[in-house]
Amino acid sequence: MRFMMIVKATTDSEEGKMPSKELIEAMQKYNEELVKAGVLLAGDGLHASSNGIRISYSEHSGKPKIIDGPFTEAKELIAGYTLIEVKSREEAIEWALRMPDPHGFGQGQIELRQVFEPVDLTQNPEILEKEAALREQIEAQKKK
């Protein structure tokens, strides 16, 4: 089971304030623990929404509209993520609870969401086979 720990943005992260040395060290230690346990798939911080682009679709035209950041409502934005693969929801929660406060100062908030697996979306063998082939291509490209 894959889960994404979504780190919510704060006013500090949206202002581009960098984390303290202590927080960076705590996050590195946490990431090392994830790696040693064999559950870390990916994880990164994101630049502030002032550098972001939002693409939205109109129900009337169906055409994409590009909107440059910054975006309002920092609490609804994402400042980073960690993607893990674990055996259960309970294990995902345990790992999420171990993450240091991602912004320090008691401002951090982590949203934990399970990632859909292809078989969750369809039982169609042809589509599942195509999806498996795409994932194999991705893995092969990483090895180059």
What CATH number is attached to the domain comprising 29? 3.30.70.1060
Which amino acid type is present at position 11? T
Residue 6 belongs to some domain of the structure = yes
As given in the structure block, the two tokens for residue 68 are: 């440059």
Q: Structurally, how many domains does the chain consist of?
A: 1
Residue 35 belongs to some domain of the structure = yes
pLDDT tens figures, 93-140? 999 999 998 777 677 889 999 999 988 888 988 989 998 899 889 888
Range of the domain at 6: 2-115
Residue 27 belongs to some domain of the structure = yes
- Phi, psi at residue 96, to the nearest 5°? -65, -40
Residue 78 burial (CB count, 10 A): 16
Residue 79 belongs to some domain of the structure = yes
Q: 16: phi > 0 → left, psi -120 to 50 → alpha, else beta; which?
A: left
H/E segment holding residue 24: helix 21-37
Residue 37 belongs to some domain of the structure = yes
pLDDT tens figures, 51-100? 999 999 988 888 899 999 998 876 689 999 999 999 999 999 999 999 99
Q: Which residue has the higher pLDDT, 113 or 13?
A: 113
Confidence at 26, pLDDT banded by 50, 70, 90 = very high
Residue 104 belongs to some domain of the structure = yes
Residue 123 belongs to some domain of the structure = no
Residue 46 burial by CB count (10 A; 0-12/13-18/19+): exposed, middle or buried?
middle
Which amino acid type is present at position 16? G
The predicted pLDDT at position 91 comes to: 98
Residue 19 belongs to some domain of the structure = yes
The predicted pLDDT at position 96 comes to: 96
| Nearest-angstrom CA–CA distance, 95 and 105 | 20
